A and B are shown apart, each in its own frame.
Chain A
Amino acid sequence: QLRLQESGPRLVKPSETLSLTCTVSGGSIGSSEYYWDWIRQPPGKGLEWIGNIFYTGTTYYNPSLKSRVSISVDTSKNQFSLKLSSVTAADTAVYYCATDATSGNWLDPWGQGTLVTVSS
């Protein structure tokens, strides 16, 4: 059974780069059955898809964030990572990683999420 866990700094200064890592356990990130996604949720607001990556390194990004986002994968560590540059207070959110079934695009399971605050 797949399990995902986010990790990384909880506080980032404005204009700097937010970096998070998602560690996958219970299965291989090299599986062709899944994409690996990042989603975020600002406090009190809805869900926003950030982007995803396949184990081969193929990525897809939300056009609204594409200029600032980079997602990478490390198959040797069974991890994938998110970098979001030039952050502002509007990037304050709970960031989730999730498994995205290639057979149907549903997201399951999700990590528990980590709140990242952008503040000086």
Chain B
Amino acid sequence: QSVLTQPPSVSGPPGQRVTISCTGSSSNFGAGYDVNWYQQHPGTAPKLLIYGDSFRPSGVPDRFSGSRSGTSASLAITGLQAEDEADYYCQSYDNSLSGSVFGGGTKLTVL
């Protein structure tokens, strides 16, 4: 069982907007630690998508956005494209474990 909780799957047709939630606790988000998001296509390494709650690395489209409030965080993807079909993971620091923690991952299907 993961420290951060994500829905196992989400889906939407091309062009739509979807959100992926990530629920934490007082020892990670609630303690003020940022959320980071990763995108992973099959057979490849995870790729940093959002860091510091809401910042996009160079090259990540502005269709991807992130936010955090209290003990929850979310990733929003607008204008869904077929290439967005992938697994998405949230990650943060947890002060009770003194290390990184991940969500269980969410599989995004573009219908």
Q: Which residues of A contact B (CB under 8 A)?
A: 37, 39, 46-49, 51-52, 60-63, 96, 100-101, 104-113
Find the A residue at minimum CB distance from B51. A106
With A107-B38, A107-B48 as known contacts, state yes or no: A62 contacts B99, CB within 8 Å. yes
Q: Which residue on chain B has the smallest CB distance to residue A104?
A: B52
Interface size of B as a range: 20 to 34
CA–CA, A108 to B36, complex, Å?
11
11 of the cross-chain contacts (CB-CB < 8 Å) are A39-B100, A46-B2, A47-B91, A49-B101, A105-B36, A105-B92, A106-B51, A107-B46, A108-B57, A109-B48, A110-B45
Q: Evaluate whether A63 and B97 lie within 8 angstroms (CB atoms) in the complex, with A47-B89, A108-B57 already known.
A: yes
Structural contact, B52 and A62, CB atoms closer than 8 A: no
Residues of B in contact with A (beta carbons under 8 Å apart): 2, 33-34, 36, 38, 44-48, 51-52, 57, 89, 91-93, 97-105
Residue numbers in B under 8 Å from A107 (CB-CB): 36, 38, 46, 48, 91, 100
Contacting pair A46 B52 (CB below 8 A): no
Chain A residues touching B, majority SS: strand
Quick check: A104 and B89 within 8 Å, CB to CB? no
Structural contact, B102 and A46, CB atoms closer than 8 A = yes
Chain B residues contacting A37 (CB-CB under 8 Å) are 100
